[in-house]
Amino acid sequence: MTMADLISLKEIKRHYDVGGEVVRALDGIDLTINHNEYISIMGPSGSGKSTLMNMIGCLDTPTEGVYEFEGELVHEMDDNQLASIRNRKIGFVFQTFNLLPKATALRNVEVPLIYANMAKNDRIEKAKKALIAVGLEERMHHKPNELSGGQRQRVAIARALVNDPSILLADEPTGNLDSKSGTEIMKILDSLHANGNTIILVTHEEYIADHADRTINLFDGKIKEDRKTKKRKVAVA
């Protein structure tokens, strides 16, 4: 792992015992991710892309192999250490938003800062800035059921960003949205990347993957292809 590397995976394997049969979900993954890269991970069902996302997101540890994240040895960590690195270094955006239904947008974005023991005034200010960054300054005090699907996903992106994570990990971020809202969400992710964020996007849609600089195709737990992507970005004002 060099100084420029953000993430380094070497010979990563993740095997599961299912009814006495070994399933090789990841079967020898070598992958380096640098600061400010924009990467999409693709592959058919069962290819290992969800397992790889969980591995990169420190939600799981490998059966074999070495995982370094900014010099920290993730493959040697226990559950508490994994939780710590997730809270400090990773912002998650899920297909299903995962917002607190009775809390306002502002309160939802505050949640990671509460876990980080940030003072109340500081965290409110930081949460407001994150919501402004995704264009929701007029919706801060609305609850999720008062927001559209696209607006809910913007709240989720603001929550993911509020801790200034090293990476933003987005799992099918447009999967529950109509095409117009999906396009708006991708514009926001493009803009965040342009502002220096490292984004890793898991998708099964080619046109979504084309927003990234680099696409990794998985098949049967192995990297089948790692290629530069022809850009399909839309400029954001």
Q: Can you give the CATH number for the domain in which 146 is found? A: 3.40.50.300
Residue 222 lies in a domain: yes
Helix (H) or strand (E) holding 167, with range, is strand 167-171
Q: What is the full per-residue pLDDT of the chain (237 aa) written as tens digits?
A: 554 689 999 999 999 999 999 999 999 999 999 999 999 999 998 899 999 999 999 999 999 999 999 999 999 999 999 999 998 899 999 888 899 999 999 999 999 998 888 999 999 999 999 999 999 999 999 999 999 999 999 999 999 999 999 999 999 999 889 889 999 999 999 999 999 999 999 998 899 999 999 999 999 999 999 999 876 544 443
Residue span of the structural domain in which 188 resides: 5-228
Residue type, 140: M
pLDDT at 116: 85
Residue 237 lies in a domain: no
Q: Is 196 left (phi over 0), alpha (psi -120 to 50) or beta?
A: left
Residue 235 lies in a domain: no
Give the CA radius of gyration of the chain: 18
Residue 167 lies in a domain: yes
Residue 52 lies in a domain: yes
Residue 193 lies in a domain: yes
